[in-house]
Amino acid sequence: MQKKNRVLIVEDHTLLRAGLCALLSADPDIEIVGEADNGRDAVRAVAALLPNVVLTDISMPGMNGLEAIVDIKRRFPLTKILVITIHKTEEYIHEALRAGADGYILKDASHDELRVAMRSIMHGKTYLSPDISAKVINGFLGSGKGQVGGTPWETLTHREREILKLVAEGHPNRSIADFLCLSVKTVEKHRSNLMRKLDLHNASGLTAYAIEKGLLSQ
């Protein structure tokens, strides 16, 4: 009997997560081994369950999908990761691929496309949704997967992006420090760096920027 591919689904919307589980469970080659609703729990679930494939959103509370991908690929490089998201801009696609994603599809994809994407990455191929323009793909390949861009967003570290998201969610410095196991002074330094890099001067500016970048859950 052929061994099933073990899949972890990471999505913060309960109904969508349940729908993905139902769709993929109908595939005889797939076994859903776990679920998570944020990046931090996803990393823990990968360590505990050792799935072959992780299907993940980008915008989630706490640690987002991009940060989770980096952590998962660092610790479990053979794990395949398929991003499923509403974001179709060049910026998000590049970020996901740089982080280590093996595939990228949109949430309005058909069931058939999802199955094709899953099978592609499970066979070691990279899958990108047909709705993503050739210009975006060529732009990424031309710049090189590991090359760091020069936009303000691309200069932010993963820690800075994590703190940006928490600030946008309304958490004070003390809460952020406790959540990330950092000192308040370290959080204040990261916030200062964020404002300098983004040329923003208050929490409301950071919040607006985070919303623009899709860091807050839709």
Q: What is the pLDDT of residue 208?
A: 87
Fold of 152-212: Arc Repressor Mutant, subunit A (1.10.10)
138 or 9: which leads in pLDDT: 9
Fold of 5-143: Rossmann fold (3.40.50)
Q: What is the mean pLDDT of residues 57-84?
A: 91
- pLDDT-derived band at 146 (thresholds 50, 70, 90) equals very low
Sign of torsion over alpha carbons 65, 67, 68, 69? positive
Contact at 8 Å (CB) between 34 and 78? no
Boundaries of every domain in the chain: 5-143, 152-212
Secondary structure (3-state) at 171: coil
Q: What is the pLDDT of residues 157-170, one digit of tens each?
A: 878 888 888 888 88
148, pLDDT greater than 50: no
Contact at 8 Å (CB) between 100 and 158? no
Closest CA to 193 of 160, 215, 149, 166: 160
Q: What is the mean pLDDT of residues 50-60?
A: 94
**Encoding tokens for residue 62?**
């706490």
The whole-chain average pLDDT of the chain stands at: 86
Q: Is the pTM of this model over 0.75?
A: no
132 or 60: which leads in pLDDT: 60
138 or 176: which leads in pLDDT: 176
Domains 5-143 and 152-212 share a fold: no
Q: What is the pLDDT of residue 20?
A: 94
Secondary structure (3-state) at 12: coil
Q: What is the pLDDT of residue 218?
A: 47
